[in-house]
Structure 1
Amino acid sequence: MAEEAVQPFRCDVPDEVIADLHDRLDRTRWPDQLPDADWDYGTELSFLRALCDHWRHDFDWRAAEARFNAFPQFMTEIDGEQVHFYHIRSPEPDAVPLIITHGYPGSVAEFLDILGPLTDPVAYGGNRRDAFHVVAPSIPGYGFSGPTRQRGFNIARAAKVNLRLMERLGYDRYIAQGGDWGSGISTAMAAMQPERLIALHLNFIVGFPADPANPLEGLTEKEKAAVAWKENYDLHEHGYRIIQSTKPQSLAYGLTDSPVGLAAWVVEKFKTWSDCGGNVETSFSKDQLLENIMLYWVTGTINSAMRLYYEGNGPGRAPSQLAKVNVPTGYAFFPAEIRPTPRAWANQIYTNIVRWTEMPKGGHFAAFEQPTAFVDELRAFVREFRSGR
């Protein structure tokens, strides 16, 4: 593909890929599990058996493909990497351009239920003045973007890809939104080319204390409790990050070869990081979980997805202090978010926070778990910027 070319794309997985998946599911060699272990040691055995039984016998991949193909998708090449993206033009001519970026272990599957309401609010009972032209890329290395081809593809390079993509599509000014890696990518976009961004909206935000020697100074009791929770979380839940930041290749052999291994590794994060009260199916259906997992399976991208951790956090590659961001910033804090950053800490990076909303329910995969609340909050944030863009 020529560097400047943009080509239409449709999800169309060959039958033999699905047949191979079914064969592997049929031949699974299951591990043992201690009595009453529940999820303490990782993904619980009976839940995973039920999920994979549904995957083998009831999950309809062709119906999932139809959901993915319901909106226009495209492929292009930027910085030597293949980039898959949704580009949905609103029927409203004065719609605001928006680029929204997913994270790990998610994908553009997270956005399937918000693309329609964002681009055509009238069709979903909303106001035409809340319309967006939406661009939703698959981060290079994820899903249909395919595996990355070069060493060193990190958040900064992903941000440059997004900036170049919006330029290629003819958008000079736009909103950037993101969670997880998408938050870091959108933030880097704002730091690199602030003149391009009308505003920045995040559902995952980072920061650091103004005085590292006294990190809790000036925090409310609620914020202090959140910091303590985060410290405990990091102690018990960050093993995946350490592995993926140091030896992702070793892990990738098992996850690329075994669909059950891949499902176990991915679904545990959706359970732990969602506002599900211990039952992941109160936040996501089996089909939703599998649609996301399938984007990793059929493209063989779990290795390159994990490599993003290595390139950003691995040995000798610890991220430097983030640049200041002066772009108007909004933050939606969903209560089960795994990084409950105090606002005073976020202010050390984001110097122009104009909206900080505590959402009633939801977690790390906000658009996926709480699509209506996510859309409503994003619309409310952007309204004040529409007239002056």
Structure 2
Amino acid sequence: MSVMEETTFQPFTVDFSDEDIADLRRRIAATRFSEKETTTDVEQGTPLATAKAVMEYWGNDYDFGRVQRNVNAYPNFVTEIDGLDIHFIHARSPHEDALPIIITHGWPGSVVEQLKLIDPLTNPTKYGGSASDAFHVVVPSMPGYGFSGKPAEAGWSTERIAKAWGVLMEQLGYSRYVASGGDWGAVVTELMGVQEPPGLVGIHTNMAGAIPPAIDGALGTGQPLPADTPPLSEEEQKTVDQLKYVYAHVAYALMMAGRPQSLSGLADSPVALASFLLDHDRDSLILIGRIFVEGAQEGLSRDDICDNLTLFWLTNTGVSSGRLYRENKVGFFNTKGVTLPAAVSVFPDELYSVPRSWAEQAFPNLIHYNKLPKGGHFAAWEQPESLVSELRTGFQSLR
């Protein structure tokens, strides 16, 4: 059964109004900036120079019709699952034997993160691959994000989203498929691996939850590692040090987990929204600063970043997306208990680099592990060619 034959799937077209875009332009032009930070790094958050450069480009040079054209270039649909409208892109490959895949974005992301993956995955022969590399691609917007519904009641946890994705793939008629994701998408994908919905045969993650629970628990609470922790290799110690930094610099996550409704400024001020969304992690923020302030060409473009900001603003999802941090009931980085075949890609500027030793413990059926030479947290967005290659290679044994 194809999506077109399923009457519960409604075609969807992004159609932002001229009035809302004009209002956004007006608000950007009226931006009142804070004073400059008192440091010369990014440790106090989005630097003033970065914020000014972003708002200057967003307000004066960015094409506000770009994001809706890019999303509308693919078939979009909305369906109701578990009482909530779920938006998704569904791009079928011209190769009928293609392997179906559901790819999940994270925060502060949206479906625009995955747009660069769709054509190479669905039409591999045009992008250096063969017909045997083809995928049918499903990219949903998580609840509270993008064009999906905003939950009116508590309860839309990562486990519930994972279950909804299993329902979605079953309703699309896919009896055999794989799943992939980064950031929240990695958590949701791994929970799908734990739940093992009918048809799911393997998962891929580029932010693997592979930290031994006792170590992750100690790092998350700022405590010393347990006394019975086996000696760490140099690679494992590096990961521990990276996670210590991550857990010490997650103010944005703590705010969204504890007081999401107090972030109402994200719905009223474009500079508040932009500054908050850009400050996800140190390396990404530094990269974005180079792109806007120095004009660097490093995977992401100014337009890419403004696409995501525009989508967040025009869908008014700055607060609703953040509530997932409050709803989540599982660890970000710890082992979840996946026994399905799993592929792991490690990008060097991710929050932390998962050692092979821990990946093998976390995923007893590890079918692929690779360290990439370039890329960070937003791998699909920043280094799409590398991630496409990882998905082709990682799932090759499951075709």
Shared fold, TM over 0.5: yes
Alpha-carbon separation, structure 2, partners of 1:271 and 1:232? 10
Q: Give the corresponding residue for 2:317.
A: 301
Alpha-carbon separation, structure 1, partners of 2:288 and 2:311? 26
Alpha-carbon separation, structure 2, partners of 1:320 and 1:41? 24
Residue identity in the other structure for 1:248: P
Q: TM-score, normalised by structure 1?
A: 0.91
**Structure 1 pair 91/194, CA: closer, same or farther in 2 (3 Å)?**
same
Structure 1 stretch displaced more, 323-332 or 188-197: 188-197
Alpha-carbon separation, structure 2, partners of 1:188 and 1:209? 16
Aligned counterparts, 1:169-184, within 5 A: 169-184=172-187
**Structure 1 pair 321/125, CA: closer, same or farther in 2 (3 Å)?**
closer
User: In angstroms, what is the RMSD of aligned CA positions?
Assistant: 2.4
Aligned counterparts, 1:222-261, within 5 A: 222-235=235-248, 237-251=249-263, 253-261=264-272
> What number of residue pairs does the alignment pair up?
379
**Structure 1 pair 171/261, CA: closer, same or farther in 2 (3 Å)?**
same
**Structure 1 pair 278/303, CA: closer, same or farther in 2 (3 Å)?**
closer
SS in 1 for 2:202: strand
Residue identity in the other structure for 1:307: R
Q: After superposition, give the CA deviation of every residue in 1:187-209 in whole Å (9 maximum; x if it has no partner).
A: 11111125522211110111343
Which of 305, 314, 334 aligns to 1:289? It is 305
SS in 2 for 1:144: coil
What's the offset of the Cα at 1:136?
0.5
Alpha-carbon separation, structure 2, partners of 1:331 and 1:215? 27
Q: After superposition, give the CA deviation of every residue in 1:29-59 in whole Å (9 maximum; x if it has no partner).
A: 1111146644231111122112111111111
Say whether the 8 Å CA contact 1:330–1:356 is kept in structure 2.
yes
Q: Give the corresponding residue for 1:381.
A: 394
Aligned counterparts, 1:42-53, within 5 A: 42-53=45-56
**Structure 1 pair 278/33, CA: closer, same or farther in 2 (3 Å)?**
closer
Say whether the 8 Å CA contact 2:100–2:176 is kept in structure 1.
yes
**Structure 1 pair 318/34, CA: closer, same or farther in 2 (3 Å)?**
closer
Aligned counterparts, 1:81-120, within 5 A: 81-120=84-123
Alpha-carbon separation, structure 2, partners of 1:154 and 1:322? 18
Alpha-carbon separation, structure 2, partners of 1:131 and 1:150? 39
User: 4+ residue runs of structure 1 moved beyond 4 angstroms?
Assistant: 317-323
Taking every aligned residue pair, what percent have the same amino acid on both sides? Answer: 41
Aligned counterparts, 1:1-12, within 5 A: 5-12=8-15
Q: After superposition, give the CA deviation of every residue in 1:256-293 in whole Å (9 maximum; x if it has no partner).
A: 10011100111122663378496255342111001011
Structure 1 stretch displaced more, 20-29 or 366-375: 20-29
**Structure 1 pair 371/139, CA: closer, same or farther in 2 (3 Å)?**
same
Q: Give the corresponding residue for 2:348.
A: 335
Q: After superposition, give the CA deviation of every residue in 1:159-197 in whole Å (9 maximum; x if it has no partner).
A: 011011101110111011011111111111111125522
Q: Give the corresponding residue for 1:312.
A: 328
1:272 matched to 2:283? The reply is yes
What's the offset of the Cα at 1:90?
0.4
Which of 219, 225, 231 aligns to 2:232? It is 219
Structure 1 stretch displaced more, 199-208 or 37-46: 37-46
Q: Give the corresponding residue for 2:221.
A: none
Alpha-carbon separation, structure 2, partners of 1:290 and 1:261? 14
Q: After superposition, give the CA deviation of every residue in 1:296-343 in whole Å (9 maximum; x if it has no partner).
A: 111111111110001115xxx889986521100000000111032334
Structure 1 spans left out of the alignment, 5+ residues: none
SS in 1 for 2:116: coil
**Structure 1 pair 167/329, CA: closer, same or farther in 2 (3 Å)?**
same
1:69 matched to 2:72? The reply is yes
SS in 2 for 1:332: strand
Say whether the 8 Å CA contact 1:12–1:65 is kept in structure 2.
yes
